[in-house]
């Protein structure tokens, strides 16, 4: 089966969830959707694995140094994972948590 990529509906839902701004820097320009866990590593095209980033933060997440000496690729990747984990980790009735799971 060929991966058709992120649907328009899902892309819009992710933009809407993130307030139509970069989830990391708050920029409203050149928005893109990024996979926190790459598809090649088993990450899904579901919102639980997607985050809105501006083009600079997205490039930084892929190793293109847009913020030299300020933030590393690893920092951006970690921030993406933390953002989504904080959003999708559930607190269960017994007080325990069900972890974020981006591999649906």
Q: Tens of pLDDT along 20-48?
A: 999 999 999 999 999 999 999 999 999 99
User: Does some domain include residue 85?
Assistant: yes
**Close Cβ partners of 104 (under 8 Å, ≥ 6 residues apart):** 44, 46, 48, 49
User: Does some domain include residue 35?
Assistant: yes
Contact 1, 23 (CB under 8 A): no
User: Does some domain include residue 65?
Assistant: yes
Tokens representing 81? 């994972």
pLDDT less than 70: residues of the chain: 1-4, 104
User: Does some domain include residue 45?
Assistant: yes
In this structure, what CATH number is given to the domain that contains residue 70? 1.10.30
Contact 27, 55 (CB under 8 A): no
The pTM assigned to this predicted structure is 0.86
Structural domain count, the chain:
1
Domain that holds residue 31: 8-98
User: Does some domain include residue 104?
Assistant: no
User: Does some domain include residue 61?
Assistant: yes
């Amino acid at each position: 089966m060929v991966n058709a990529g992120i649907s328009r509906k899902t892309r819009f839902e992710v933009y809407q969830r993130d307030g139509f701004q970069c989830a990391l820097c708050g920029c409203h320009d050149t928005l893109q959707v990024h996979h926190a866990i790459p598809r090649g590593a088993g990450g899904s095209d579901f919102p639980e694995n997607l985050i809105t980033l501006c083009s600079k933060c997205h490039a930084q997440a892929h190793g293109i140094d847009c913020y030299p000496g300020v933030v590393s690729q690893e920092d951006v990747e970690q921030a993406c994972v933390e953002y989504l984990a904080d959003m999708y980790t559930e607190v269960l009735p017994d007080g325990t948590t069900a972890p974020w799971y981006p591999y649906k």
